[in-house]
Structure 1
């Protein structure tokens, strides 16, 4: 794909995001995080050159490698995968802009302890398993308010910004919408929450219509 073709493709996606956003409100804001886990640093730079600034990686080592290769660019790096406690030191060495996936109290405590040691802070989202799927991490809807408050109180080095969830892994748009609406409803009850991260390449328009303020787009941004 030429640079011009890539720019047209990118503009087409932006247009879809805009239309979905306007169906919510003129004032609704949606941020795109490019999920770059399947592409190399060169592909990230190409997308950066046509206007994308926030990129998210699923694996800590990939985040380290790509951020090092692209250190001359002021990229906003996000970690959007499941974080293992033994990778915390490596992740914090990159100083990511946002961690999307706090999925347990144990992980929150381990992060806070490491952050305290280095006198650092980390912006983060708490993951909700709003579709009640065994394959997904995160807190269930009925426990999230309590756990969110607990993390805020016990882990002051984590600056909670809101929540993240993945839409129901089904073909039925009614069930996908229900999982997004559940996440948004919870988001609206959380203190000082500003980010509701939900929606990927296959369902981002529906996620935006349900109130998402941040979408994670992978394959649709990096067509082969």
Structure 2
């Protein structure tokens, strides 16, 4: 048990590394918290710094979700512990220790955790996001659709009830973090991928 706690704490600390902020600092770009929607995530970095910075941000957020989960499974700790480790990395992204506990939405980090738990489930979630993005061109709607389905994908493909339940809680938090986006979607004012974000969009 103490070993599992160590893995969970380490995952939270890793998740607390804001890839968006660090990437923008290293590339000499504006702090993503002060431009566009103000959200330190790949979508806002795309608007603030372009495709290269956004790809680096997305990759970093995926890795910090997938790596601790994959390591936990490699150490033989089981799906339930691995899911808790993924949840810790996700919480680190949402509430980062190093950045005043003010982080992003957690979509890419949660997706990385799913890939770590079960690559097929991760591919299903990513495919759902991509399909909705191609149709709607709206990042937030794509994320909400994908994570509405994510717990079911994990249950069907990973055959793990604990992992599916933990993912359901993560999905609920993703919906909570997108509450302004949901209001904008209802009002028809949510920005499209590649477009300019309103100050209240937070995507």
Do Structure 1 and Structure 2 share a fold, with TM-score over 0.5?
no
Q: Higher helix fraction: Structure 1 or Structure 2?
A: 2
* Pair member with larger Rg: 1
Q: Give the alignment's TM-score, normalised by structure 1.
A: 0.26
Q: Give the alignment's TM-score, normalised by structure 2.
A: 0.28
Larger RCO of the pair (alpha carbons < 8 Å, separation 6+): 2
